[in-house]
Structure 1
C-alpha cells in the first residue's frame, strides 16, 4: 500500500489572512482532509506532520533545509514517498539542498506550494497538492522534484521566475521530467537513475558560510573586500553571460586572487537563465580563471549556492570541493565530459 508523509513547513499554500497579512495556518491538516475526502480513495494514503515553527519561506535557513532532510531520513523506511509543502520564494533553494542531502534516494520526494492560499478563491493550491500527492506514489520517480502548475521539474534545476503568475517555475537548462494535464506523462529518460544505496548527508553544522554576489556595472572592489572581511568559506558570483566580469579593473581581480589565497572557494554562475558558464571563452572570463575562480557550468544560482554550502558544511577539503563543484552529483548540472 502506497503511503506518503506530508511535511508542512509553512508557505502560501497553507496561509490564512490576518491583520498583518497572510500568515501560516496551523490547521492545514483539517482543511486538507475536508478537501480531499471525495478523492481520497484515488490517492496514496498519507500522514501529515507540521513543522514547528511554521515558516514563510523567506525565513528559511540552511538549518531548516537539513531539518526537513533529517525528517525524510528518519522516516525513510516507513513511507513510499514524501511531499514537502513549502513557500515559493525559496522553494528552489530547499529543493536543491534536499537533492544534495538525500543523494541516491530511491523514492519520490515532491516539493510544492502555491501562489494563492488554499483557503482563497481561485487558488492553485488544490491542483498542485493533488498532483504532487499523486506523483509521490510513483514507482518511477527516485529523486527530489519540484512540482508546480502542471510541470514536474528536477528540484535542483528549477528557478522561480514569476511572483504574479501561476506558472511560477521553469527549468531553464534541463527538460521537464513530466507534465500533468488530462493525462499524466512522465519522461522516464529524463529521470535520475539511483546508483545504489541512498547516501543521506546531514551535516552537524548546516551553515557552510557561503555568500552570493551579483555583479553589476560599476561594482566596487571594496565591496568584495568587505565581504572577504567576514571570512566566507565560499563565494558564488553571478557573472555576465558565459562567465564575464569587469576584469579590466585590476583591483577587482586582485580581490578575487585574495579570496583564493584565503581559501575562499569562488564559483562563477551566469545571470542568464539559459546555457552555461565557459570561463575560457572570453578574455573577461579567462581572467577569473587566472584568479582562481571555477566555473559552475549550467547550474542555477540556487543549486550552486546549496551545493557549495553542502560540500563546505560536510567538511570536504578545498581541493576536493573544487573538483566536485565542476561535476554533477545528482543531476544539478550537465556532465562537462559529454
Structure 2
C-alpha cells in the first residue's frame, strides 16, 4: 500500500473494546478497565510532534478481554462502526482490541462491513499502556498517524509499524512486538461480480452458528456428528496439506454428506501456514469434494470463519452461500 494515495482521515472514532492495551491490575490479574480516553488524551498531548487526525472516543460495553469475544459482540461492533460513520460523521474508525482474537474480529468485520466507504483499523498491544517496554502507545499513535496519511477504504490491522490485510494474517506469537504475520497462502478465486445486496453493510444481520474442526489422525464420524447435532450452519474444516482428510473412512464421509444434505456449509482450509487447498490434487481431497466439502483456497481459518458468519448471517440460502464461498469478496482468496 502506497501512502498518501488516499484521502487523509479527518474525523476518527476510537472504539475501545477492552483488551490488554487498557488493562490494569486487579485481584485476579490484569483486567479491562474504564478511563482509557483520559489516558490516551494525556499521552497524545505529551507528544506534540505527533500529527494525528481529530478523534472522538466511545467505550464499548462491556469492556472485555478478547478471549471473551463472541459473534454477538461483533454485531454490536458493526453497529457502532456504522453509527460512527453515518450518524457521527466520522470518515474512519480505530478499534482498540485485545490481540488474542483480534485477527478473527478484523477478518469478520471485513465481511460485515462490505460496501462501507470508510477506513477501519484494528490495533491493540501485547503489554498494557504505562508498563515498562509497553507497545501500547506506539501502536495506537502509529495507527492514528497511518489514518492521517491516508488509507484505502476497508478494514486494516495495524501493529508495530506494519499494516496487514486481516483476511490474510493470524496471531502467530504469544510474545514480543510482532505477534501478527501475513500467512503466505495460495489459491486464488474468481472475483465476485459486485457485492450482493444482502451482504451490504447496511442490510440486517442475524447471528449464525459456525464451528471450526481441525482434522487429526484417528478422527471419527462421531465427533463430526456431534457438531452437526449442535445445530451448526457452517463448518470450517481444517484439513491436511492441500486439502486432504480420512478418505478411507466411509463413516466420516457419510457424516460430511449428511452435513451437505442438512444444508450445513463445510469449507476446507489448510492447516499449513503456507499454500492452500486444492481438493482435486489427491484422491483423499477429491473424496471430500464428492461429499460436499467446498474449497477455501488460500483462506486462513480466521477469514473462512468470518466469511461464513457474514454469508450465513445475511440470511442467504445455503446454495447461494456455497456459491459465494468460492468467490472472492474482499481479497480473501487473492
Structure 1-normalised TM-score?
A: 0.89
The answer as to 2:44 corresponding to 1:36 is yes
What is aligned with 1:2?
10
| CA–CA distance in structure 2, aligned partners of residues 72 and 266 of structure 1 | 30
Task: Pick from 49, 56, 77 the counterpart of residue 68 of structure 1.
Answer: 77
In the TM superposition, 1:181-200 aligns within 5 A as 199-200=200-201
In the TM superposition, 1:152-301 aligns within 5 A as 152-173=163-184, 199-201=200-202, 203-206=204-207, 208-301=208-301
Q: CA deviation at 1:201?
A: 4.6
Relative to structure 1, the CA distance from residue 199 to residue 261 in structure 2 (aligned partners, 3 Å threshold; closer, same or farther) is closer
Q: CA deviation at 1:202?
A: 5.4
| CA–CA distance in structure 1, aligned partners of residues 106 and 72 of structure 2 | 14
Q: CA deviation at 1:12?
A: 0.4
RCO (CA 8 Å, sep 6+): is it higher in 1 or 2?
A: 2
Counterpart of 2:94 in 1: which secondary structure?
A: strand
Q: CA deviation at 1:277?
A: 0.4
| CA–CA distance in structure 2, aligned partners of residues 248 and 138 of structure 1 | 55
Structure 1: 5+ residue runs without aligned partners?
176-193
Structure 2: 5+ residue runs without aligned partners?
1-8, 187-193
| CA–CA distance in structure 1, aligned partners of residues 102 and 290 of structure 2 | 34
What is aligned with 2:303?
303
The answer on whether the counterparts of 1:107 and 1:139 sit within 8 Å (CA) in structure 2 is: no
| CA–CA distance in structure 2, aligned partners of residues 261 and 304 of structure 1 | 21
Q: CA deviation at 1:140?
A: 3.7
Q: Note the aligned Cα RMSD (angstroms).
A: 1.9
| CA–CA distance in structure 2, aligned partners of residues 319 and 220 of structure 1 | 27
The answer on whether the counterparts of 1:100 and 1:201 sit within 8 Å (CA) in structure 2 is: no
| CA–CA distance in structure 2, aligned partners of residues 173 and 164 of structure 1 | 21
Q: CA deviation at 1:174?
A: 6.9
What is aligned with 2:126?
115
Deviation digits for residues 163-193 of structure 1, max 9, x if unmatched? 1222100111379xxxxxxxxxxxxxxxxxx
What is aligned with 1:58?
67
Counterpart of 2:306 in 1: which secondary structure?
A: helix
Deviation digits for residues 207-251 of structure 1, max 9, x if unmatched? x11111011111121111111111211111000011010111111
Counterpart of 2:121 in 1: which secondary structure?
A: strand
Counting matched residue pairs gives: 314
| CA–CA distance in structure 2, aligned partners of residues 231 and 51 of structure 1 | 30
